[in-house]
Chain A
Amino acid sequence: MEPIQGDQLRGHLDTMILATLQHGEAHGLEILRRLEDAGCGLLRLKEGSLYPALYRLEAAGQVKAVWEPQPHGRRGARRRIYHLTPRGRRKLEAGRAGWLQFVRILGGILGAPA
């Protein structure tokens, strides 16, 4: 199968991040690992792009972040640990419902129902 590139994920990245955080709090790299594992290695995401998405979600109150207490040998470079907020959970549910509707409609048009 062809890998899925970042452009094809546009519009879905925020919901995907929320879905990974449903499994527990995580820092940026851990979120990417979870996405890669869930995508069976077929997701090709520019890793830097994850952070603007996380900042957007944080500004929207859908995730909250705390700085890790120790940088673990990375001088002047701490990670932030993200977790889902109640608003983020509601957004994730809405995102899932929207996705199911999208797949149903497009599946009908393309003649390949999900």
Chain B
Amino acid sequence: MNEPARIRLMILVETAVRPVRATPRRKQEMREELLAHLIAVFEEEATRLGNEPAALDEAARRFGNPAELTQQLQKSVSWDDRLVTRMSEFISPPGNSVARRALRHALLYLAVKTTPVLLTALCEWVSYVRGQRLQPPLSQFGGDGLTRLGLLLPYGAIAIFIFSFLAQWTSQTARCPAHQFRRQTTLAAAAVSLGIPAWAFGFSLIVIGDWQSALREIWLLFPALAVLPAFGVIFLANLGRQAFHGREGRPWLRTRLFHAAACLAASIMAVALTMAIAGDPWTALQSAQSWLPLVALLIVLDLILSAPRVVARTRTEEEWDNLPTR
């Protein structure tokens, strides 16, 4: 079967499947199965008619009206799949800009975190008014503690905004044209290596309350906070680039080994720097903070191992997403 005929059949399938509201995985399953059916029908008709254009028309006729099929496919989507789709659309509405999505994630975080605090305060206030409780609401936090709680909630939301924005930015960097890729990746890595330590410093300042102690805490963690996330951004952007623009049949084992070695080197460097700054290596090793790079390394290794699967899936989705539909 030639490529133009295959693409025409794919467009037919995509016209029916794209409007269906279901999880990407479910839609991909529908696409694959419907395309397999259409290809088999096309081959059958091409043998019978001996004419490819006529076989394509006959395959389309036998397939039926894509708009009707969309409705039928929509009705066949299970309730749990619909629920997951709605939740996903609620959390990240399709078509929103990166900043709007990040803002939405931050506001959702704030709502989820604030609701239990407000409910606790309400319950305690009711008990207080009824005389069942002697202390005023949220008094367990103390005057200063309550202020910190009030600062931490929006600060968490800011963190979510930053992380969500950076994650989406990295993903977009992977798709940008080749001449912009290096500049965009460098900018994203620089933003991460400055942004994350700055955010961590602010967090420590709120928790500890003393800027000198907060700075000391962050200084100890600075290599891990600055180097590893920046490296992660570069790695993920390259991985994404491989997925969107890489050639078929790239030797994946070599790429994976290279990335694994680079991640290991970055992690060892971060641990070594942390130990050097701490002065006493054993104290640094015993502290939980020193294990942070190793945890990050495990996450990165997991990404590397799942990379071929992610790349294959992304390529397939991209191929379908780029199809024009009526």
Most chain A CB within 10 A, of B41, B72, B77, B316, is at B72
Contact (Cβ within 8 A) B63 A47: yes
Report the bound CA distance from A47 to B33 in whole Å: 12
A107 to chain B, nearest CB (A): 31
CB closest residue in chain A, given B71:
A52
B7 to chain A, nearest CB (A): 12
Chain A residues near B (Cβ < 8 Å): 27-29, 46-49, 51-53, 55-56, 59, 71, 74-80
Most chain B CB within 10 A, of A28, A76, A80, is at A76
Report the bound CA distance from A59 to B1 in whole Å: 33
Contact (Cβ within 8 A) B75 A77: no
Which chain B residues border A28 with CB–CB below 8 Å?
33, 37
Contact (Cβ within 8 A) A56 B76: yes
A67 to chain B, nearest CB (A): 8
Contact (Cβ within 8 A) A52 B63: no
Which chain A residues border B41 with CB–CB below 8 Å?
29, 47
Contact (Cβ within 8 A) B76 A74: no
Which chain A residues border B319 with CB–CB below 8 Å?
76
Residue B296 at the chain A interface, CB threshold 8 Å: no
CB closest residue in chain B, given A79:
B36
Report the bound CA distance from A27 to B76 in whole Å: 18
**Considering the complex, which residues of chain B in the window 44-82 have a beta carbon less than 8 Å from any beta carbon of chain A?**
62-66, 68-69, 72-73, 75-78
Contact (Cβ within 8 A) B30 A77: no
Contact (Cβ within 8 A) B32 A49: no
Contact (Cβ within 8 A) A46 B40: no
Would you give 22 A-B contacts (Cβ < 8 Å), ordered by A? A28-B33, A46-B62, A46-B63, A46-B68, A46-B69, A47-B64, A48-B34, A49-B69, A49-B72, A51-B73, A52-B72, A53-B76, A55-B30, A55-B73, A74-B39, A76-B319, A77-B33, A77-B35, A77-B36, A77-B39, A78-B36, A79-B36
A59 to chain B, nearest CB (A): 5
B132 to chain A, nearest CB (A): 50
Report the bound CA distance from A36 to B39 in whole Å: 19
Interface residues on B, range: 20 to 34
Residue B224 at the chain A interface, CB threshold 8 Å: no
Contact (Cβ within 8 A) A71 B63: no
Residue B16 at the chain A interface, CB threshold 8 Å: yes
CB closest residue in chain A, given B62:
A47
Contact (Cβ within 8 A) B75 A51: no
Report the bound CA distance from A75 to B9 in whole Å: 13
B72 to chain A, nearest CB (A): 4
Which chain A residues border B78 with CB–CB below 8 Å?
59
Which chain B residues border A55 with CB–CB below 8 Å?
30, 73, 76-77
Report the bound CA distance from A56 to B37 in whole Å: 18
B314 to chain A, nearest CB (A): 13
Report the bound CA distance from A76 to B6 in whole Å: 11
Which chain A residues border B35 with CB–CB below 8 Å?
74, 76-77
B161 to chain A, nearest CB (A): 37
Apart from A51-B34, A74-B39: 19 A-B pairs, beta carbons within 8 A? A28-B33, A29-B37, A29-B41, A46-B62, A46-B69, A47-B63, A51-B30, A52-B75, A53-B72, A53-B76, A55-B73, A55-B77, A74-B35, A76-B32, A76-B319, A77-B39, A78-B36, A79-B37, A79-B40
Say yes or no: A47-B68 contact (C-beta < 8 A), given A52-B73, A77-B32: no
Report the bound CA distance from A108 to B5 in whole Å: 52
Report the bound CA distance from A109 to B64 in whole Å: 35
Which chain B residues border A52 with CB–CB below 8 Å?
69, 72-73, 75-76
Report the bound CA distance from A75 to B32 in whole Å: 10
Report the bound CA distance from A50 to B291 in whole Å: 55
Which chain A residues border B36 with CB–CB below 8 Å?
27, 71, 74, 77-79
